[in-house]
Structure 1
Amino acid sequence: MYKFVCLVSSALLLVSCALARPQDQRAAAPTTTTTPASIIKQENVNNADGTFNSSYETSNGIRVENIGTLKKITIPRSEDANGQVIEEHEAVILVQTGSYSYNDPDGNVISVQYVADENGFQPQGDHLPVAPQ
């Protein structure tokens, strides 16, 4: 019995070593033909009340703007997972609006405008599909 346990343990060790070997790194490495971008313009304003405004632009044409504001919302009466009633109450949430744009591989400018609030992330852009009405 001892020999059988040693044989099975040795086989498992051999299989685990084979599975743990490094993969072929040449096949997994991405090839990059672009040059690194640098930030050519950047602004950050963080206000004491939690609101902010930030933007940046890079040397390869990427532009990003993000504005954060606070919004008071009413959360309706509900029950938690344990059946405890949570009464209607107000909460302050962070709402972010902004945009970003970049050049696709064909040189077209791709632009996205968005709002992120109590309804989730809501992007809009000419290249994005639109839900049927």
Structure 2
Amino acid sequence: MKIFIIAVFGLVAVAQAQYNRYNPQYNYNTNGGRNWAILKQNQDSSPDGSYAYSYDTENGISVAEQGQPKSFGPGNQVEVVRGQFSYSAPDGTPITVTYYADETGFHPSGAHLPTPPPIPRAIQKSLAFNAAHPEPQTPYRRY
């Protein structure tokens, strides 16, 4: 009897999920219900792990990226990626971001991105002094 009840609940759950998936009442489109056409799309991937793709959409979004694996010895491999994307902000300002990502992380650049303030002169002098006069490396004391 327990198996029958579990099976019935399972069928009801599957039917409800299927109904919600295709019900137009549940439109999760965040751009006001408008779907934009893809005007141009290219994709390429190679057996060595490198790839490239790009696409342009009807509403002005443009994306291009390429990447290839980079090895740092046995078992140490990262993906080196370069790309760019552009779109129009809600106020009409064109936004373009170029980026690269490697073993050091993700590095975006764009005119709209904030930049850090310059390092004060006193801190630059202190960093230079610390680099020129490193502390001696002494092992931890073991008792």
Question: What is the TM-score with the length of structure 2 in the denominator?
Answer: 0.56
Rounded to whole Å, the distance in 1 between the matches of 2:30 and 2:75 is: 51
Secondary structure at 2:98 match in 1: strand
Once the 2 structures are TM-superposed, how far is the Cα of residue 73 of structure 1 from its aligned partner?
A: 2.9
Q: 1:83-113: per-residue Cα shift (whole Å, max 9, x none)? A: xxxxxx6722111110000011122210000
Match of 2:109 in 1: 124
* Structure 2 unpaired stretches of 5+: 1-27, 119-143
How many residues are paired up?
A: 91
Give the aligned CA root-mean-square deviation in angstroms.
2.4
Divergent runs of 4+, >6 A = none
Query: How far does residue 115 in structure 1 lie from its aligned partner after superposition?
Result: 0.8
Once the two structures are TM-superposed, the CA of residue 35 in structure 1 deviates from its matched residue by: 2.9
Match of 1:115 among 100, 103, 107: 100
* Residues 1-133 of structure 1 aligned to structure 2 (within 5 Å): 32-33=31-32, 35-73=34-72, 91-133=76-118
1:114 alignment partner AA:
Y
Q: For the structure 1 residues 118 and 38, does the alpha-carbon distance in structure 2 shift closer, same or farther, using more than 3 Å as the test?
A: same
Give the letter aligned to residue 83 of structure 2.
Answer: G
- Structure with higher strand content: 1
Q: Which structure dedicates a bigger proportion of its chain to helix? A: 2
Greater RCO, 1 or 2 (C-alpha within 8 Å, sep 6+) = 1
**Structure 1: gaps spanning 5 or more residues:** 1-28, 75-88
Equivalent position amino acid for 1:99 in 2? Q
Deviation string 1:32-75 (CA, Å, 9 cap, x unpaired) is: 5573211110000000100000000000000001101122336x
Report sequence identity in percent. Answer: 40
